[in-house]
Amino acid sequence: MVGGVFMLDQEGKYNIKAVSKMLGIKSGTLRAWERRYKMIAPVRNELGYRLYTEEHLKILKWLIKNVNKGFTIGQAVSLLENNEFHPETENVHDGSQIQRLADELLDSLVEFNEIKSQETMNTLFSLFTVEKVIFDIFCPLLLRVGELRDRGEITSAHENFVMAIIRSKIELMFHSLPQSELLPKAILVCCPGEFHEMGLLIFSLYLRRKGLEVIYLGSGILEGDIEEAVKIIRPNYLFISCTLQENLTFILSFVTQMSLNYKNLLFGIGGRAIDLMKKSEREQFSSFIVGQSMKEWDNWLPNLSRIR
């Protein structure tokens, strides 16, 4: 490897259009990768067009595979430059490593070892995208903690410590992202009387990374104060989390009335109680339900086009 570029002597045989089609990647993206990272150097034919070899294809497939695992392209190229490309195995940083780091994080948290847990989280964020750490590590870890508490294997003190550390990390990332008053505004709030905020916090980070100005109100907000905040802030979105089923009737009534009073306000509802709604209720309020996975959120968010 010379200057970060693998020197290959095979004959170029594929043009960029063919490579784009074979790998499912846009030609513009491929050009941008090559220009910025110089991980391969396609030869040029007499007309100046790029030609890719079989080895180029192997490298690009490997990079795309790691990007799909959750690495950024920059991280994947760094692995490539550190001679981590092994086409015969292609097992760099696979699921076993993610699980190992997740287990290390859980062990340090239930041991009340904040220093070790912060070190492990920093390692995770250096290797993987924010989305992958949040959804493939933090969310399963929080579920595991809840199960351990239910079985009596850890105490409420353990659970509270885990929640506090994970929460502080998410809040730190949330507040490190830039905001602008020119962006669409979203208010996020828990159902009055509820205090389960972790899911709403994760969703708030997702929205901030999507480019919304997020006003996070969290828990402990009274019903009347939610509407007062809407009047003052004049948001484009109002997202409400509802985790307790006994509060479901209230929330559905509340968003119904608010949607009548504020015609230009888009409403989103989520949480465990929403996930357990009856089929008839889900059909009636389907346009409000944002879902519980990032894929569902991505499908819901095209509503942004209505306010831009």
* pLDDT (mean) for 105-124: 93
Tell which CATH architecture fits domain 16-69.
Answer: Orthogonal Bundle (1.10)
- Please give the pLDDT value at position 25: 87
- Please give the pLDDT value at position 162: 94
Q: pTM surpassing 0.85?
A: no
At 231-284, the pLDDT tens digits run: 999 999 999 999 999 999 999 999 999 999 999 999 999 999 999 999 999 999
- Closest to 286 in 3D by CA, of 273, 300, 303: 300
* pLDDT (mean) for 215-224: 92
- What are φ and ψ of residue 238, in 5° steps? -130, 115
Give CA–CA dist 90/84, Å, rounded: 9
At 176-216, the pLDDT tens digits run: 877 777 788 999 999 998 888 888 999 999 898 888 899 99
Give CA–CA dist 51/238, Å, rounded: 51
Does the domain made of 95-174 have the CATH classification 1.10.1240.10?
yes
Residue 104 has pLDDT above 60, yes or no: yes
Give CA–CA dist 49/44, Å, rounded: 5
At 28-39, the pLDDT tens digits run: 999 999 888 888
At 155-176, the pLDDT tens digits run: 999 999 999 999 999 988 888 8
Q: In this predicted structure, which of 74-78, 93-97, 226-230 has the lowest mean pLDDT?
A: 93-97
- Please give the pLDDT value at position 159: 92
- Closest to 273 in 3D by CA, of 293, 254, 292, 299: 292
* Residue bearing the bigger pLDDT, 83 or 204: 204
Hey, which of 3-17, 37-51, 256-270 has the most confident mean pLDDT? 256-270
Residue 64 has pLDDT above 50, yes or no: yes
Average pLDDT, whole number, for the chain? 84
Domain 178-306's class?
alpha beta
pLDDT band at 301 (very low <50, low <70, confident <90, very high): confident
- Please give the pLDDT value at position 24: 87
* Residue bearing the bigger pLDDT, 257 or 132: 257
Amino acid making up residue 261: N
- Please give the pLDDT value at position 261: 93
- Please give the pLDDT value at position 10: 52
Q: Are 33 and 25 in contact (CB under 8 A)?
A: no
What residue ranges of the chain are covered by domains with CATH 3.40.50.280? 178-306
What residue ranges of the chain are covered by domains with CATH 1.10.1240.10? 95-174
Q: Which two tokens stand for residue 28?
A: 């513009």
- Please give the pLDDT value at position 5: 39
